[in-house]
Structure formats: structure tokens, C-alpha cells
């Protein structure tokens, strides 16, 4: 699925393994789950407590998960992967009209070893935990000499009373010398940032989707707004003062597709014009040429409504 696009990046942005590299290594990238905006500062829960005694158990879980991925061992993968992550991974594969589980272990991206990474901290809040590392995480997609230092956040969930691996994210710190100095000096206050924290609430368990007629991607640009886009009751994305794509979980049907867009105004720099734009692109396969099948763009004269709904069909796109 290809088209021209551009996007903005934050200095501490989640590392994505390619806009449509959804299934290369389940749980490795931001692209593995719908975009969600961190809570506003005033609504943020208190930081999760440091829990160093969970460092070794979490390392063992990740190592078992990595071994399962390396050996293409489906039963071992199921055993150590959180149920919600298994369903989400399946849904993202099926949404691309690919076979599950046959496509699970296909792809060039490798789960990075812990070797060479320095443990920074382990945090646990309720049934969710994170282990944060710093160093050169090698995903096997570039020359080792080109791998840069970043933070790697391993996420875990307690599932049926047992801890399971959820996913990992790489957080780029850019050229922030102050943050790097904190790491070197053992100042861990930066771990209070939402990128490193376990979620305050466990998301509801997803349901399995069916194979779609079309593979689809939604692109959302929200400046001065927080926008939540729901598609066909199978997909939801939330974006605030940002721009980027998501794979549409559940894909699209030929007819009767439904979109719901909810917006609310949020602070933005006075010199920056408020803007909301949503585009949905469909293709017959994950590698096919995409065509825009839905588009909304706010005008300079009027703010978007707080809620709008529409139906649309996919026309002129071969299956």
C-alpha cells in the first residue's frame, strides 16, 4: 500500500518500523497499535513506583518471547504473549488480508537482544509494568555501525494472574544533551514522562475482526484539536497536535463503511492556525496502490463540529 506523505516528529517520538511494516515483529513498534495521545498534564496519574525486583522476571519473559519469535514457535509465543496483544497482532495481520498465523513470523525485523543495553529502571502499576533500557538496540535492519543510542521501553501485562510480554517501543531523545546527562548521572526523574510509564488503566480486551474487502490506512492531522476517529466499530485512533497514519483495523467493506469523528479544542501556539484533516486510503492488498476514499478538511472560517458521522463506499479500487 503506497502513497506520498509527510509527517511531523517529536524530539522524543516513538520509533516506527516503517509506516506499513505492521507484522514484521509483533509488538515491536508504535505502528503495532492505534495512535493514542498521552493524558493531559493535569489528568496524568502519579508516577508508577520503581520496582527493581521485577527486572529479572521481566527480562526472562522478554527473552522467552524473543526466542519464540526467532524460532518461529507459535505455541511458545502464545504462552508468553499477553492475550490482548495476541488478538491485536492477529487483527493487524487479518486486516491486511494476510493469513494468520502463517504471516506472524515473516519479516526482516528482528527482536533486539538485551546484550549491550543498560537497564535504567523498572516500573509497575497494578497489572501493567515497564522496563526501560538505554543503548543501541539492534533490530537487524541496518548496519550495526549505524545503530544509534536510544531508550527501549519493554511493556508487560498481568494476564490471568501471570505476567506476560506485551510490546516494546524505542523512544528517540534526539539531540537532548540534558536528558543524556541525566542518564549518565543516574537521575531517573525523566522516567515520569508518559513514554516510559505503565498505563494507568488496562485497555479493554479487543475482539477478533474478519478479513476485509480492502486494506485501509487512515491519516489524521489535528492541530489545536484532539480528534478521535472511529471506523466501522473496529478501529479507533486519537491524535492531538500531531499528524500521522494508522492501519485501519478491520479494513473496509465495499459499501456501508461508517466513520465517526469527535473533536475538542486544545491549546496550541497562537501563531499556529488550527486545522483538522482526515483521509482514508484503500487498496486491494497491503502492497497495492492506495486510493483516497474518504476526506474531511476543516475550513479557516469555521471550526469542525464536536461530532460528525458519515458513510462512504470504496469505488474504483480493485480487490
Average pLDDT (144-169) is 95
29: pLDDT confidence band, cut at 50, 70 and 90?
A: very low
The whole-number pLDDT of residue 114 equals 97
Question: How many angstroms separate the first and last alpha carbons of the chain?
Answer: 13
12: pLDDT confidence band, cut at 50, 70 and 90?
A: very low
Is residue 53 helix, strand or coil? helix
Average pLDDT (147-159) is 95
The two most distant CA atoms of the chain are separated, in Å, by 59
Average pLDDT (52-65) is 98
pLDDT above 70 (res 46) = yes
The whole-number pLDDT of residue 33 equals 47
Backbone angles phi, psi at 275, to 5 degrees: -155, 135
The 10s digit of each residue's pLDDT in 164-204 is 999 999 998 877 888 888 888 889 999 999 999 999 999 89
The whole-number pLDDT of residue 42 equals 57
Average pLDDT (67-89) is 97
- 149/132 Cα distance (integer angstroms): 13
The whole-number pLDDT of residue 26 equals 46
Residue with cell 511458545: 76
Burial class (CB in 10 A: 0-12, 13-18, 19+), 100: middle
How much is the pTM? 0.86
The 10s digit of each residue's pLDDT in 100-131 is 999 999 888 899 999 989 999 999 999 999 99
The whole-number pLDDT of residue 231 equals 99
- 190/208 Cα distance (integer angstroms): 37
The whole-number pLDDT of residue 20 equals 31
Task: Tell which phi-psi region holds residue 160, choosing left (phi > 0), alpha (psi between -120 and 50) or beta.
Answer: left
All domains of the chain in start order, with CATH? 30-192 (3.10.450), 215-312 (no CATH)
Q: Spell out the alpha helix ranges (H) of the chain.
A: 55-70, 74-80, 83-94, 177-185
The whole-number pLDDT of residue 45 equals 86
Amino acid at each position: 500500500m503506497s502513497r506520498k506523505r509527510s509527517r511531523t516528529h517529536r524530539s522524543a517520538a516513538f520509533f516506527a518500523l516503517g509506516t506499513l511494516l505492521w507484522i514484521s515483529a509483533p509488538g515491536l513498534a508504535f505502528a503495532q497499535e492505534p495512535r493514542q495521545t498521552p493524558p493531559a498534564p493535569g489528568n496524568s496519574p502519579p508516577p508508577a513506583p520503581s520496582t527493581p525486583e521485577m527486572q529479572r522476571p521481566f527480562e526472562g519473559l522478554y527473552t522467552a518471547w524473543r526466542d519464540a519469535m526467532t524460532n518461529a514457535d507459535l505455541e511458545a509465543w502464545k504462552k508468553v504473549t499477553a492475550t490482548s496483544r495476541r488478538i491485536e497482532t492477529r487483527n493487524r495481520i487479518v486486516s491486511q488480508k494476510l493469513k494468520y498465523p502463517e504471516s506472524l513470523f515473516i519479516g526482516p525485523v528482528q527482536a533486539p537482544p538485551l546484550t549491550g543495553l543498560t537497564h535504567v529502571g523498572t516500573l509497575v502499576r497494578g497489572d501493567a509494568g515497564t522496563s526501560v533500557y538505554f543503548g543501541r538496540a539492534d533490530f537487524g535492519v541496518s548496519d550495526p555501525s549505524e545503530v544509534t543510542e536510544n531508550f527501549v521501553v519493554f511493556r508487560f501485562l498481568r494476564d490471568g494472574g501471570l505476567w506476560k510480554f506485551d510490546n516494546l517501543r524505542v523512544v528517540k531523545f534526539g539531540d537532548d544533551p540534558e536528558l543524556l546527562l541525566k542518564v549518565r548521572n543516574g537521575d531517573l526523574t525523566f522516567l515520569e514522562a508518559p513514554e516510559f510509564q505503565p498505563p494507568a488503566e488496562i485497555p479493554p480486551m479487543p475482539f477478533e475482526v474478519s478479513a476485509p474487502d480492502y486494506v485501509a490506512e487512515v491519516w489524521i492531522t489535528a492541530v489545536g484539536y484532539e480528534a478521535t476517529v472511529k471506523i466501522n466499530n473496529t478501529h479507533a485512533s486519537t491524535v492531538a497536535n500531531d499528524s500521522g497514519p494508522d492501519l485501519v483495523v478491520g479494513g473496509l467493506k465495499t459499501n456501508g463503511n461508517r466513520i465517526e469523528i469527535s473533536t475538542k479544542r486544545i491549546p496550541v501556539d497562537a501563531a499556529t492556525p488550527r486545522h483538522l484533516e482526515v483521509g482514508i486510503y484503500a487498496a486491494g492488498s497491503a502492497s497495492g496502490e492506495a486510493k483516497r476514499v474518504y476526506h474531511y478538511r476543516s475550513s479557516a472560517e469555521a471550526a469542525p463540529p464536536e461530532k460528525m458521522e458519515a458513510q462512504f463506499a470504496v469505488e474504483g479500487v480493485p480487490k
